[in-house]
Amino acid sequence: MANHREAYVEQLFAHFKQNETDQQDYRLGIEFEHFLVHNDNLRAVHYYGDKGIASLLSRLAGSTWQVCNLGDDKKHIICLNKNNDEINLEPGGQIEFSFSPKNSIREIEKTYNTMINDLEPILKDNNYNLITLGYQPVTKINELKILPKKRYKMMFDHFKKRGDLAHNMMLGTASTQISLDYSSEEDFSKKFAVASWLSPIIYATLDNTPIFEGKRTSEYAVRAKIWNDCDADRCGILEKSIEGNFTYKDYAEYIVDLPAIVDPAGEKPEPTELTFGEVFNKEVLTAEDIELMLSFSFTDVRLKEYLEIRMADSFPLPLALGYLALLKGIFYDQRNLDYFFKQVQKTSTAQVKKALKAITEKGCQLPYNDSIMMMDWLDILIERSLQGLSKSDQNYLLYLKNYLKDYLPPRKATGNTGNLKNDLDYSLVLPGSDIKDGYRKFK
């Protein structure tokens, strides 16, 4: 089989260059992941069965929602689309709201509320709820079945030979992922470096994982620990990314040299160890080929048609929108981006990786750059970000700021009554019948 490594690197370089965006045209993207649970006991709703997730999605299909993807069995729905916004399913049945790029945070808020309003009658009919946590609240991963998608099955088999927590990542975790535009290779390099430097701060201060495998956990930043023991080839922080001279070619070479896992031709049922530079039997990649390649990197920060920041746990809408505002005020304000890039230049990739391991024990109180604790870096980030936001966007970030005064990190809102539903009430999407603008009353 021919190796087209250099040709693919050039084509990926062109792809990244083609997706540069003028600053005045910057938009925002976000993915909200949730667990679908039984409202009474917070156990996971499974994918199959008369009242499973697939059945729930089939009730939405055919109205204003259209099926955009079926499982490999060609029967069960795994994706719905409405106005270019999607409801997707992750390997363990996590429900992801994936939005097309939006011009404002307010537009994202409205879109989220529309999705919830569409889902609410079906959820209530079945006594189901959506919960926003970094990890399944009750159900263990050995109780969950992987979705009927060949890619997921091959990933599952591949990860058997990798980190001990790789299957926990696939089946048990949920996150909030933010997508941001870049204007040039220099801008990409700077944003990639700052985002990577932020990784341990975000994991530590926005930790919303109070439970792991059905038990309360005293460890912090559980998802950071999971990603650190998943697959070293494609997870964590990329070498050279912190140093600030990371180029399109560097990222393209990283992608092309990744083990592909899947056989694009669909001929091999088992995972492949061939790299993407070896596995394609063609000289010119299609748009679908490029999309496949870029989606098989699971680093904390990754590049597709945009920069994707993937560290934050799943958390309730008001906190997620505040987090989005936080990143907007940092990455879309040149003064703030430059300020934090100077902090990055004091740091090495090794120091960031060391912090990512240490936060599981120290959490928000771990010292970082200039011996400043994670929690204090968050304060600096918030105050700087507020200066780079419009008044309307400041309100979203101020909500997050005020919430974190009482609950830092967010998992501290977990109660201790012995009634798990009451203890995790803050993270439930449907609080009875009272849904107003997607916000719920926090303790």
CATH of the domain at 81: 3.30.590.20
pLDDT band at 436 (very low <50, low <70, confident <90, very high): very low
- Confidence at 232, pLDDT banded by 50, 70, 90: very high
- Quote the pLDDT of residue 432: 43
Rounded CA gap, 314 and 222, in Å? Answer: 12
pLDDT digits (tens, 9 = 90+) for 337-362: 999 999 999 999 999 999 999 999 99
Range in 34-38, 44-48, 59-63 with the lowest mean pLDDT: 59-63
Q: Whole-angstrom Cα distance, residue 105 to residue 111?
A: 10
> What pLDDT was estimated at residue 296?
97
- pLDDT at position 281 is 85
Overall number of domains in the chain: 1
- Segment 409-431 mean pLDDT: 94
Q: How far apart are CA 329 and CA 388, in angstroms?
A: 5
User: Taking 60 as the threshold, does the pLDDT of residue 121 lie above it?
Assistant: yes
Residue 57 in this model has a pLDDT that exceeds 50: yes
Start-end of H helices in 87-184: 105-125, 150-159, 166-172
How sure is the predictor about 2, in pLDDT bands with cuts at 50, 70 and 90?
Answer: low
The yes-or-no verdict on residue 443 having pLDDT over 50 is no
Residue-level pLDDT at 1: 54
pLDDT at 437 over 60: no
Q: Look up the domain containing 146 and give its range.
A: 5-427
pLDDT at 152 over 90: yes
* 72 occurs within a structural domain: yes
Contacts of 365 (CB under 8 A, 6+ apart): 373, 374, 375
In a domain, 442, yes or no: no
Specify the pLDDT at position 433: 36
Whether 435 is covered by a domain: the verdict is no
Please report the pLDDT score of residue 431 as a whole number.
74
Q: Nearest Cα to 182, choosing from 191, 173, 169, 194?
A: 191
Task: Give the tens place of pLDDT for each residue, 261-295.
Answer: 998 877 677 899 899 999 998 999 999 999 999 99
Least confident of 47-56, 71-80, 228-237, 301-310: 71-80
The contacts of residue 378 (CB under 8 Å, 6+ apart) are: 201, 205, 364, 404, 408
Confidence of residue 175 (pLDDT cuts 50, 70, 90): very high
Instruction: Read off the tokens for 186.
Output: 């220099």
Between 239 and 167, name the one with better pLDDT.
Answer: 167
pLDDT at residue 442 above 50? no
Q: What is the Cβ-side half-sphere exposure of residue 268, based on CA atoms within 13 angstroms? A: 14
- Mean pLDDT, rounded, of the chain: 94
Structural domain includes residue 438:
no
Q: What's the confidence (pLDDT) of residue 356?
A: 97
Mean pLDDT of the 19-43 span: 98
Q: What is the DSSP string of 403-433?
A: HHHHSSSGGGG---SS-HHHHTGGGBS--TT
pLDDT band at residue 187, thresholds of 50, 70 and 90? Answer: very high
Is 443 within a domain?
A: no
- Given a cut of 90, whether residue 435 has pLDDT beyond it is no
The predicted model scores a pTM of 0.96
440 domain residue, yes or no: no
